[in-house]
């Protein structure tokens, strides 16, 4: 009986440990960090950019991962535009937005539990402003869609 109790207790401790571990893994990205995700295309590798309110940035593209810092002006503008566009899931996509089969990509932004649709096909001024911000951020960091033949695939996003 004592052995059964001990094994049950040990099992509960293991489950508690795994639960804590999974919660900390989900907390790897703070809830105030905006994640920009470009899907890539048939011929290109996408990218992910993690932007903090301080302008500190982590990003990964077909060339690898890196860190950077955005200007205060661009950071403030981006976060202001994100706030104006909330809830991000309600941002409309332009109907009939044509994209190349080989080179067409989608770009979404995520903040906490909110995620936009494809802002590269903006359906209103708020989505267009965010698309412009993302283009400026990618340009400032020199983040591009690298050809699949010249880059390496992105690591999995584990959250």
pLDDT in single tens digits along all 159 residues of the chain: 445 444 443 443 344 333 333 333 344 668 899 999 999 998 899 999 999 999 999 999 989 999 999 999 999 999 999 999 999 999 999 988 888 777 789 999 999 999 999 999 999 999 999 999 999 999 999 999 888 888 787 877 754
Decide if 68 contacts 59 (C-beta within 8 A).
Answer: yes
Question: What six digits make up the tokens of 21?
Answer: 């571990």
Q: Is residue 101 part of a domain?
A: yes
On whether both 2 and 76 belong to a single domain, the answer is: no
**Long-range interactions of 127-130: CB distance < 8 A, separation 24+:** 127/85, 127/91, 127/92, 127/93, 129/81, 129/84, 129/85, 130/78, 130/81, 130/82, 130/85, 130/91
Residues of the domain holding 1:
1-29
Strands 114-115 and 107-111: antiparallel
Residues 20 and 58 in one domain: no
The DSSP call for residue 154 is P
* Phi-psi domain of 57 (left: phi exceeds 0; alpha: psi -120 through 50; beta: other): beta
> How many structural domains does the chain have?
2
Same domain, 5 and 36: no
Could you give the CA distance from residue 59 to residue 51 in angstroms, rounded to a whole number? Answer: 9
Whether 17 and 40 map to the same domain: the answer is no
38 plus 20 within the same structural domain: no
Same domain, 97 and 42: yes
Same domain, 94 and 50: yes
Residue 157 forms part of a structural domain = no
CATH for 85: 3.30.1560
Instruction: Return the pLDDT at 33.
Output: 97
């Amino acid at each position: 009986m004592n052995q059964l109790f001990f094994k049950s207790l040990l099992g509960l401790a293991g489950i508690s440990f795994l639960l804590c571990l999974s919660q900390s893994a989900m907390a790897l990205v703070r809830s105030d960090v905006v994640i920009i995700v470009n899907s890539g295309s048939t011929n290109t590798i996408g990218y992910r950019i993690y932007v903090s309110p301080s302008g500190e940035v982590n990003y990964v593209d077909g060339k690898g991962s890196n860190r950077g810092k955005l200007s205060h002006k661009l950071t403030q503008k981006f976060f202001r535009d994100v706030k104006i566009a909330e809830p991000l899931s309600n941002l409309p996509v332009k109907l009939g937005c044509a994209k190349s089969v080989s080179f067409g990509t989608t770009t979404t932004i995520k903040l906490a539990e909110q995620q936009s649709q494809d802002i590269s096909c903006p359906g209103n001024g708020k989505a267009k402003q965010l698309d412009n911000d993302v283009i400026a951020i990618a340009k400032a960091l020199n983040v591009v869609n690298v050809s699949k033949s010249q880059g390496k695939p992105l690591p999995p996003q584990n959250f």
